[in-house]
Amino acid sequence: EDHPELAKSIVSYFVQEHYICEVATTFEKTREKLELFKYDVILLDIMLPDGNGIDLLKMARQDKVDSSIIIISAHNALDFKLTGLSEGADDYITKPFPLPELHARIKAIMRRRSPQQTNLLTFKDITANLESMECRINGKLLPLTRKETSLLLYLINNKGRMLTRQAIAAHLWGDYTDNLDSVDFVYQHVKNLRKKITDAGGQNYISTVYGLGYKFDAAGA
Beta strands 41-45; 68-73: pairing state: parallel
Give the separation between CA 90 and CA 63, rounded to whole angstroms. Answer: 16
Most distant CA atoms of the chain, gap in Å: 57
Q: Using a cut of 0.85, tell me whether the model's pTM lies above it.
A: no
CA dihedral 202, 205, 211, 212 (to 10 degrees): -130
pLDDT of residue 196: 94
| Cα-to-chain-centroid distance, residue 192 | 22
- Please, which residues bridge with residue 44 across strands? 71
First to last CA, the chain: 37
Local mean pLDDT, 10-residue blocks, the chain (221 residues): 87 84 89 86 92 93 91 92 94 94 92 69 89 90 92 90 85 66 82 94 91 82 54
Other beta carbons within 10 angstroms of residue 162's beta carbon come to 15
- Please, which residues bridge with residue 216 across strands? 206
In CATH terms, is domain 120-216 a member of 1.10.10.10? yes
**Nearest CA among 3, 45, 41, 35 for reference residue 22:** 41
Other beta carbons within 10 angstroms of residue 97's beta carbon come to 13
pLDDT of residue 87: 94
HSE-up of residue 183 (Cα within 13 Å, Cβ side): 21
**Cβ–Cβ under 8 Å, residues 108 and 117:** no
pLDDT of residue 160: 87
Other beta carbons within 10 angstroms of residue 177's beta carbon come to 19
pLDDT of residue 221: 54
List the domain boundaries for the chain.
4-113, 120-216
CATH architecture of 4-113: 3-Layer(aba) Sandwich (3.40)
Other beta carbons within 10 angstroms of residue 147's beta carbon come to 15
pLDDT of residue 115: 55
Give the separation between CA 168 and CA 175, rounded to whole angstroms. Answer: 10
**Cβ–Cβ under 8 Å, residues 169 and 186:** yes
pLDDT of residue 33: 87
Helix, coil or strand: residue 185? helix
